[in-house]
Amino acid sequence: MSTRRDTDIDSIEGADTVRVLVGKPGLDGHDRGAKVVARAFRDAGFEVIYSGLRNSPEAIVQTAIQEDVDVVGLSILSGAHDTLVPKTMELLEDAGMTDVLFLVGGTIPDADAKELREQGVDRVFGPDTDINDIVDYVRREVLE
Amino acid sequence: MSKEQERDTEDVEGENSVEGIPGEPEGFYDPGGDGMYDEERFEQFREDRQRWEEETLEPWLENHPEREERFESLSGYERKRLYTPEDVEDLDYEEDLGWPGEPPFTRGAYPTMYRGRRWTRRQIAGFETAEETNERYKYLLDQGQTGLSTDFDHPTLTGYDSDDDHSEGEVGRIGVAIDTLADFEDLFEDIPLDEVSTSMTINSPAPIMLAFYVALADERGVDREKLRGTIQNSIFKEFIAQKTYALPPRPNIEIVKDVIEFCTEEVPNWYWANVSGYHTREAGATAAQEAAFTLAQGMGYVECGLERGLDPDDFAPRMSFFYVSQSDFFEEIAKFRAVRRIWARVMNERYDAESDAARRMRYHVQTAGESLTAKEPMVNIVRTTTQALAAVLGGCQSLHTNGYDEALSIPSEDAMRLALRTQQVLGYETGIADSIDPLGGSYQVEAMTSEMEERVLDYLADVEELGEGSMKEGMLRGIETGYFEQEIVDSSYEWEQRRAAGEIKKVGVNCFQQDDTDEEVDLFTADPATEQRQLDRLATVKDERDEEAVEAALAGLQQAVDEGENIMPHLVEAAKAYATEGEMMGILREKYGTYDDPGVF
């Protein structure tokens, strides 16, 4: 790792009380984004749980319950978001986890992102997103 | 006749060697030289360079500072201000560059390169069901495409049938859905298998797709020896980057050996592996990591063939490679030239391959999906064009240019047409295809090629050490210990931070941003009815097939697996009986288990 930059992610006060699940549902193997975001969360001081690959929505929600997370972020680059996201959301609701901050990232066309938000996703992060913006968003929503 | 035409005519007659311009005309200046590399002249050159720095450069810099303290390539390597003969002082023309079509192939894999035949414009296609993809194939062939290339959906890539629980919501999404030979019959309808070459981007289930293709050829009476094409079958990179694995690494490597053996003996013109760096780079690796890990994998596969007692001069000519062309123009060209050189050396020095065919690295290039932006998508055409230009100047054998909409979706037909047109403009309008290795001899390109070679050799030494001398073992242990993933994830995080800091520029994203530039582009929309159509199709095939024949064929496969025989002939028999991909993979999964990604971040 080279020199530190001003924009490098600083540890946030109180972040260690926040538990974040980064999940990869479905068969999609594109994990670069999920890992970069997970690492940025870790650098910010959050407790990060990364699901690994090939999880069913059921398995992700199970982990969310067991780990008692505050944030669930799903990364999907396979186009299957319209099936996997509603399913996960439904299972979270069934489990009574309505307070979690629910985020989705990946190759999500604008029209689909709008629809997901209407269904209750708190925020959709598309391609080109700056990692600092994601960390900052979670900080604001959970810690402020 | 113009002066230029006069000269050209003389050229044709062969009289215009450097010394031999008739009558030594008193021109603007004498183009002939004594060469830069005799000691005395070189010393003089060095002094002159120092003089330039002191007298011209430094005073200039005082008033005109440069844009950066340190200029870095996309991979983070230092880029010098100016490259001169000093940077290529150690380069030996014969040894390090040589001649096109001869080892070490730095100047090109073939003696005439694109003067004989331009690169293959091979646009990948695959979506929804075999019928829709077949239509796209015919469209692309009509547009002048010269080879077919197939993308499969996630269930097919990971060895599940469309009606498996794992497949819900994924059928036909990112590629075509394949379950049985019946889907291949539709996929290649009206396409003569002995005339096209077909590339299939699939890995763990690659032997099954090859079995479908061979079964289809047998069914149509096409001689297996006439089949031309490639299965990716590049399983190592599934575990370190692409992550569409299906079986654990070690048993999967045994199956790769079966494929090498079967192809070498039965389908001799088929490329049994397309050793892929593309996904490693897209996962965040640097250029040197992409090149090194790919070469290490290639060496691992060569060792697989050797372990089956095959002669590298027989099987190595039928492996090809696959790289990305990213946005850093010269870094990519240097990478392409360096990997050819390294492979030629390694094949000879390490594996005793003697033929040029076994030492010649041939590769496919795809422009970088990773570099494309969701903002102002039409600008992606420009990015893709420069990347394609680098691929061609680097000497690729075939090329896929991405659609401008790929940061958002799989490409629309319009996006694919423009992508193909991009290649055609480069190939037919610019003249870049008319001389071989046009950048060879550039101080910068040669110096960067040698630097890339050194960086790659460093990594290769690491992998060799991990494997205690065996590259195959080094790959396996590097996967098992998370070495590769850690290397890549570190690079990708570093890259992301450089981008966030604006050190890596993205026009329209972190510089020159504009509001209200939401260009409306028509995206490819997945047909929600696809999944059901494919499920119906699969149900019909299952209904109509001869169950006894399926059971007998699968029993044959089971026996081959249990007794450690080559599974390929049994897969072909199972394909002919219309056994499904999932049924065949099921037997392998039952025997070998599955794989859990360690999830290093």
CA A97 to chain B, closest CA, distance in angstroms equals 24
Domain boundaries, chain A: 17-143
Q: Phi/psi of residue B228, each to 5°?
A: -125, 135
Q: Do A38 and B244 count as a contact with CB atoms less than 8 A apart?
A: no
Is residue B234 classed as helix, strand or coil in its secondary structure? coil
Residue B27: predicted pLDDT: 58
- In terms of C-beta density within 10 A (0-12 exposed, 13-18 middle, 19 or more buried), how is residue B133 classed? buried
Tally the C-alpha atoms within 13 A of residue B249's C-alpha that lie toward its C-beta. Answer: 23
What total number of domains does chain B contain? 3
Does a structural domain hold residue B314? yes
Nearest residue on chain B to A31, judged by CA atoms? B283
Does a structural domain hold residue B79? no
Does a structural domain hold residue B326? yes
Q: What is the mean pLDDT of residues B158-174?
A: 93
CA B113 – CA B339 distance, rounded (Å): 17
Does a structural domain hold residue B131? yes
Q: How confident is the model at residue B129 (pLDDT cuts 50, 70, 90)?
A: confident
CB atoms within 10 A of CB B304: 22
Taking contacts as CB-CB distances below 8 angstroms, the residues of chain B near A52 are 596-599
pTM score, two decimals?
Answer: 0.91
Q: Are residues B448 and B566 in the same domain?
A: no
User: What is the tens place of the pLDDT at every residue in B471-521?
Assistant: 999 999 999 999 999 999 999 999 999 999 999 999 999 999 887 656 677
Structure tokens at A20: 């974040």
Residue B141: predicted pLDDT: 85
User: What is the tens place of the pLDDT at every residue in B3-34?
Assistant: 666 666 554 444 444 444 444 445 566 655 55
User: What is the tens place of the pLDDT at every residue in A41-83?
Assistant: 999 999 999 999 999 999 999 999 999 999 999 999 988 899 9
Q: Are residues B107 and B8 in the same domain?
A: no
Q: What is the mean pLDDT of residues B347-362?
A: 97
Q: Do B601 and A26 count as a contact with CB atoms less than 8 A apart?
A: no
Nearest residue on chain B to A105, judged by CA atoms? B408
CA A36 – CA A43 distance, rounded (Å): 10
Among the partner-chain residues B170, B502, B506, the one whose CB lies closest to the CB of A27 is B170
Residue B90: predicted pLDDT: 87
Taking contacts as CB-CB distances below 8 angstroms, the residues of chain A near B500 are 5, 7, 130-132
The class that CATH gives domain A17-143 is alpha beta
User: What is the tens place of the pLDDT at every residue in A78-136?
Assistant: 888 999 999 999 999 999 999 999 999 999 988 999 999 999 999 999 988 999 999 99
CA B241 – CA B370 distance, rounded (Å): 14
Residue B142: predicted pLDDT: 86
Among the partner-chain residues B173, B494, B506, the one whose CB lies closest to the CB of A78 is B173
Q: How confident is the model at residue B463 (pLDDT cuts 50, 70, 90)?
A: very high
Residues of A contacting chain B (CB within 8 angstroms): 1-2, 5-8, 26-32, 34-36, 38-40, 42, 50-54, 78-80, 82-84, 107, 109-110, 126-128, 130-132
Mean pLDDT (chain A, rounded) = 92
Please check the confidence at residue B145 and state whether its pLDDT lies above 80: no
Among the partner-chain residues A34, A52, A78, the one whose CB lies closest to the CB of B596 is A52
Nearby residues of B334 by Cβ (< 8 Å), 6 or more positions away: B445, B448, B449, B451, B452
Q: Do B283 and A32 count as a contact with CB atoms less than 8 A apart?
A: yes
Does a structural domain hold residue B496? yes
CATH number of the domain within which B253 lies: 3.20.20.240
Q: How confident is the model at residue B524 (pLDDT cuts 50, 70, 90)?
A: confident
CA A96 to chain B, closest CA, distance in angstroms equals 25
Taking contacts as CB-CB distances below 8 angstroms, the residues of chain B near A127 are 372-374, 407-408
Q: What is the mean pLDDT of residues B412-417?
A: 90
CA B581 – CA A50 distance, rounded (Å): 31
Q: Are residues B182 and B245 in the same domain?
A: yes
Q: What is the mean pLDDT of residues B188-199?
A: 92
Does a structural domain hold residue B49? no
Q: What is the mean pLDDT of residues B291-303?
A: 98
Does a structural domain hold residue B80? no
Best mutation target, B204, B243, B585, to test chain A (most A CBs within 10 A)? B243
Q: How far is CA B12 from CA B8, B15, B16, in A?
A: 6, 8, 8
Among the partner-chain residues A26, A36, A126, the one whose CB lies closest to the CB of B492 is A36
Query: Which of B508, B494, B476 minimizes the C-alpha distance to A32?
Result: B494
CA B308 – CA B306 distance, rounded (Å): 5
Q: Do A51 and B599 count as a contact with CB atoms less than 8 A apart?
A: yes
Among the partner-chain residues A8, A27, A35, the one whose CB lies closest to the CB of B158 is A27
Among the partner-chain residues B167, B373, B601, the one whose CB lies closest to the CB of A39 is B601
CA B295 – CA B342 distance, rounded (Å): 8
Residue B30: predicted pLDDT: 61
Query: Which of B269, B237, B251, B274 minimizes the C-alpha distance to B122?
Result: B274
Does a structural domain hold residue B521? no
Q: Phi/psi of residue B572, each to 5°?
A: -65, -40
Angle between helix axes B329-349 and B287-307 (nearest 10 degrees) is 20
Q: Are residues B322 and B426 in the same domain?
A: yes
Give me the domain span that covers residue B586. Answer: 545-592
CA A41 – CA A114 distance, rounded (Å): 25
